[in-house]
Amino acid sequence: MTRAVGLGDENAARTSREEGQRRFGEGGPPILTFENVVKTYGRVKALRGASFHVNAGEVVCIIGPSGSGKSTILRCANGLEPVTSGSVMFAGIGLADPKTKLRAVRQRMGMVFQNFELFPHLTALRNVTLALRLVRNLSKEEAHARATELLRKVGLAEKAGEYPSALSGGQQQRVAIARALAMEPELMLFDEPTSALDPETIGEVLNVMKRLAEEGMTMAVVTHEMDFARRVADWVVVFDEGRVIEQGRPRQIFEAGTVPRTRDFLSHLGWHDDDAPRQKRAAAKEDHEA
């Protein structure tokens, strides 16, 4: 499934998708569903009845202030955090069902963490081949070929023999993405993948993620990169205090949010202030001419 033709067609493709009558992927069963999910840690309620879904082939960006439950809901998606109540369904499988084999379910998802989580004693290549050898039981040659292909895909073919300590943060995160892709997942989960990076390397990671989206990879992305969410997402979910307070197409959320808290959150990021200096200059010019 191909989502976009190229950079020059991005705005047109996004407008076309957003003006469609149906949400992308709607019509078939969602690949991932959260229904009234509650998660508590002692007296702390991290999630307070969160509900939303991700369709196959869709990019869903999850935004909101820090501590609002975004990372927690993502960790509930593959059972790293068991829910206190409510349900999480992946491809029709209930994660809380005692009969569910969570290890098998997790192998169908790829997860990219904030802090890379690479093995420091293994090269970039071996970080990618490890699961292929141990879980997929590929031969050394097969695993090497697959890992090399994936490192090339994320622009790191020449870094295959380097250890994580010799790589920049952006390069380490791209190795982590290659490792997650090695298992050929049906769904990719990204937990603030650029939060630990310096500004110069953020773009490297976002470009890889954008290419994955264009290739049709299903993605759920927790992010503070609002421009990425606006340009790449098919659907945006806004969290606050453990709840989903609003969700919709990017244009709706970023340009016409219906919930005051959504507008307030985005305004603190300067999202709605882009035109403010120009508008003030225009008003001053009109006053002067008058």
Q: What is the pLDDT along the chain (290 residues), one digit of tens a residue?
A: 444 433 344 444 444 455 555 788 787 889 999 999 999 999 999 999 999 999 999 999 999 999 999 999 999 999 999 999 999 999 999 999 999 999 999 999 999 999 999 999 999 999 999 999 999 999 999 999 999 999 999 999 999 999 999 999 999 999 999 999 999 999 999 999 999 899 889 999 999 999 999 999 999 999 999 999 999 999 999 999 999 999 999 999 999 999 999 999 999 887 654 444 334 434 443 444 44
The CA R_g of the chain, rounded to the nearest whole Å, is 20
Which 3 state secondary structure label does DSSP give 234? Answer: coil
Q: What is the dihedral of CA 118, 123, 126, 128, to 10 degrees?
A: 50
Q: Quick check: helix, strand or coil at residue 187?
A: strand
Segment (H or E) for 252: helix 250-256
Question: What token pair was written down for 100?
Answer: 């569910």
Beta-sheet pairing, 219-222 with 59-63: parallel
> pTM score > 0.75 for this model?
yes
Q: Nearest-CA neighbor of 259 among 273, 278, 243, 270? A: 243
Neighbours of 285 (CB within 10 A): 10
